[in-house]
Structure formats: structure tokens, C-alpha cells
Structure 1
């Protein structure tokens, strides 16, 4: 079941953590927000997608798109489609504390990405950014005049 935020899209999914002899189901949420048009987040935990109670990984939407068709990514995040099954996508995450290999539905990720492209078409991410608002927030000093001493 998918749900839409006012300026984003999120989809719960089940990923499979691949172990040496078995796999474990892991609930997760793929999320996309127009305010951060280049990124997709994958939230893990009881309230997946919530930065407060779970673990969230950010990755480039472009990387996720590329990984649907061919091996993509370097270092901490890598993706690739399975050669033997059309609906399997592998996601390898590496952190200082360890690494994990997940299997997830390629079709679910592809459908999710189509929804994000309806919100912000590929190549239009920069236009979706509110640069003036972000610049104002950076330059503001809590309402204080930065020149006053």
C-alpha cells in the first residue's frame, strides 16, 4: 500500500536480509520528498522512515534508477539487478559497524521511482529546489542582525 505526503511519496516494502545460510524479512519504507529532489531515503525500524526511531539511509535517486538495470554505486551503497530473476534487486549497504546485503522487489522500486518522476521529472531536480528559501535560512541568524555587535 502506498501513501502520498503533500510533497512526496512513500512506499512500505519488505526487504530480505541475506545471511550465510538464510534470509530475514526486514520492513522498510522508501521515501521521496520534493524538498530534497535528488535523494531517496530507505527507513528501517519499527517506524521506518522516521529519523527518531529507526535507521535511515539516503541515496541518490539517480543511483537507484541506474541499479534497476545494471550494477551501480561505489563504496557504501551498491545496487544491481539479479541475473536469474527479473524481480530481484540487490542492495548492499556498508557502514563502519558492518555491512548488509538485501534482496528487494525490482518491480516495487521501479513503480516507486515512476511516482517520484511524476513529482519531479529526471533532470528537473534543480528547478524543484527552493534555493532562495534555503539561502535565506543559511544566512539568517535567528532573526538577529548579523552586522550588529
Structure 2
């Protein structure tokens, strides 16, 4: 399992890199004020950082209990990315609507755009992170086609 220090590095680097790309893209795409979008991005990144730490800890504990390893197959990585984003969406949707002064339907559209961006980003970032900083319990941290 990863150490607390490693999990903190992972969560902070994930959010810092993600915000550098997502805020300008969202402001441009939805014609939002960059400053207001940036503030929303910081709130979202703070929420996501806490969620990232908690979610990854629980996810890895579950993998370790089920498989005696934190090794992730392709299917597991897809499940990881989708479930992470769905949990975050439930928490972030009302904040988007309130902060941007838009209805829930419009906020859902904005949130779905963030989700599409972050689904791809989560998958790529986590895979890259696991390659650069291998989990000692991951053994040969390779993506496999089998379930698990």
C-alpha cells in the first residue's frame, strides 16, 4: 500500500495539473469569467483533493482485501475513474449551480464537461503516476485484460 506521504503527493499533483488545464478550458468553452471560473476550480480542486485521498485509500484497501494486492487491471482502472468522478459529481453539482448563478440543468452540463475531461485525465494521470511511482504492493504494476 502507498504511504500517507505518497498519497498526499498524488492528490496534490493530480489537482494542480488538472486545474491548470481545466479552468482555462472551462472558461473558454462556456464563456465564463476566468476569475470566477478559477475560484470555482480552486473550490472544486480542494473538494476533489480530499475526495481523492479518501477515495484512493478506500479503493486500495478494497483491492488489497479482495486480491491481496493493489494491482489494477484495465477494467479496475476504468471502474476506479468512473466511480471517482461520479462521487465527486454528486458533491460538486450544487456548488457549481450556486457559484456560477445557473440552474441545475446548466450546472449539470458544466459538470458533465468537467467529468468527461477528468475521466480521461484521471485514467491517464493515475496510470502515469503508478508507472513513475510504483506501489510496492502492486508487484508488477501492469495493466491486464483480466478482471480484478
Q: TM-score, normalised by structure 2?
A: 0.31
Q: TM-score, normalised by structure 1?
A: 0.31
More helix by share: 2
